Amino acid sequence: MASWRLRASNANPSQTRRFNPRDPSPKWRGDSPAARFRGDNGTSPLNYDHIFDQAIQRLHAEGRYRVFIDILRNKGAYPDARCFAGHNGPKPITVWCSNDYLAMGQHPKVIAAMEEALNDVGAGSGGTRNIGGNTHYHIELEKELADLHGKEAALLFTSGYVSNDATLSTLAKLLPGCVIFSDEMNHASMIAGIRNSGCEKRIFRHNDVAHLEELLAAEDPNVPKLIAFESVYSMDADIAPIHDFCDLAEKYNALTYIDEVHAVGMYGARGGGITERDGAAHRIDVIEGTLGKAFGVMGGYIASDTRIIDCIRSYAPGFIFTTSLSPVLVAGVLAAVRHLKESSVEREAQQAAAAELKRQFREAGLPVMESATHIVPLMVGDPVRAKKISDILLAEYGAYVQPINFPTVPRGTERLRFTPGPAHTPEMMRELTSALVEIWDRLDLQLQKAA
């Protein structure tokens, strides 16, 4: 095989045999066309198979190769689910790491709305918003979201990721010479948007008001400026000083952009996020959110004034050139948003569950991170151990929590991130806590002295 590859790489391409998947000759078997035609025996920069293998090998070596767990949630019974990991059919598990924080993806009103929409208008939207895909559901949901945030208008995207990328890149391109001030812990989708805008950026230390001011003050007062940050940082579970950032925005004449992905539906009397809870929504120029976490379905959006929304609608490729969300999904989100505007029962139950889990972890001496939010992170500090704990929990205790590693969090801060929902009971938490204590002991990890 090796000698054949050398011949292939030295051969005149026009004389090289074409790859034929039906050719039974042994020299074709077990190798991809890329390696056959462009590689040699392993070291050539054109041996594409080798390059890809090395890339995956690096992840294994660092202990951060990602394994996706194969599950199905049980309709209406969340956090119960089935896991298809073994060979003996699905095994019942409890999910502890879902971002469907309020279990709205299982709510009877949401499911009924989706069934009704499916029966009424069929499965897909049939086009982009401009060409056939602007359904009445989309228009209704945008009105509902604008109202949620007290803004003039809103715009839907196919995900929160796309909404950040499309909006930030387009906004900054429309503002000549714009400089973006970005929190160092901002999500990958915001970083992608900032990078894709091609504009200048300044990174300020996480939630550091003084550092942001230093950077703003150093800038030409006449260049357009945009401050981009999140409200709830979902990995460290802390909250931005929103009013302080808005004060700076006013002082230095900058626009403000906030990602409320982990807060919409979760905070504020109507689920308008931290900006609603803290009375700051009117001070923010663009509020961005997801429809896939507390609202339980899928999609993303921004809410702003009509002028900005009209610009993004008209200029952002990530909005224009893609099929709009299925009306079935949009109908489900509409039901979730409307329900959570009226009901705080789910929010309160979720907050109580998070507080109880933090209390139990702390009492057991588990290294629960300081958290001002609904998220309960447990620090491990090592990718291999984090994965090991997660594997044991799943295999032996039927508890599913995904290990979080680099690049989602910095190296050396790998952790387990628990998101208890309204239906996780104190009894389930006791079982989880004692399982974790047993695993901590088994892996020779240190428990902290109970406070």
Q: What is the residue whose two structure tokens read 């049939």? A: 126
Of 230 and 236, nearer to ligand PLP (C-beta) is 230
**Residue 73 token pair:** 């949630």
Contact 164, 189 (CB under 8 A): yes
The CA-to-CA distance between both ends of the chain, in Å, stands at 64
- C-alpha span between 391 and 388 (Å, rounded): 5
Given the complex with ligand PLP, which of 284 and 439 has the nearer CB atom? 284
Nearer to ligand PLP, 5 or 187 (CB): 187
Within 283-379, residue ranges assigned H as helices are 306-315, 317-320, 327-342, 345-364
Give the count of alpha carbons within 13 A of 398, CB side only: 11
CB of 157 to ligand PLP, least distance (A): 9
Give the span between the Cα atoms of 161 and 259, in whole angstroms: 10
Question: From the CB of 160, what's the least distance to ligand PLP, in Å?
Answer: 2
251 as an active site residue: the answer is no
**C-alpha span between 225 and 199 (Å, rounded):** 10
Q: Is the separation of the CB atoms in 53 and 39 below 8 Å?
A: no
Which residue minimizes CB distance to ligand PLP?
Answer: 160
Q: How far apart, in whole angstroms, are the C-alpha atoms of residue 162 and residue 312?
A: 12
Using the minimum distance from each CB to ligand PLP, give the nearer residue, 105 or 160: 160
Tokens linked to 440: 């901590």
Tokens 């505007």 sit at which residue? 341
Options 151, 225, 293, 358, the catalytic residue: 293
List of residues contacting ligand PLP (CB under 6 A): 159-161, 164, 187, 189, 230, 234, 259, 261, 290, 292, 300
Q: How far is the CB of 142 from ligand PLP (least distance, A)?
A: 16
Cβ proximity to ligand PLP: between 185 and 380 the closer is 185
Rounded Cα–Cα distance for residues 432 and 89 (Å): 23
Smallest gap from residue 300 Cβ to ligand PLP (A): 5
User: Strand pairing partners for 179?
Assistant: 200, 225
Instruction: State the nearest-atom distance from the C-beta of 187 to ligand PLP, in Å.
Output: 4
Q: Is 403 exposed, middle or buried (0-12, 13-18, 19+ CB in 10 A)?
A: buried
Does residue 100 contact residue 107 with C-beta atoms inside 8 Å? no
- State the minimum distance, in angstroms, from the CB of residue 189 to ligand PLP: 5
Which positions are annotated as active-site residues? 293
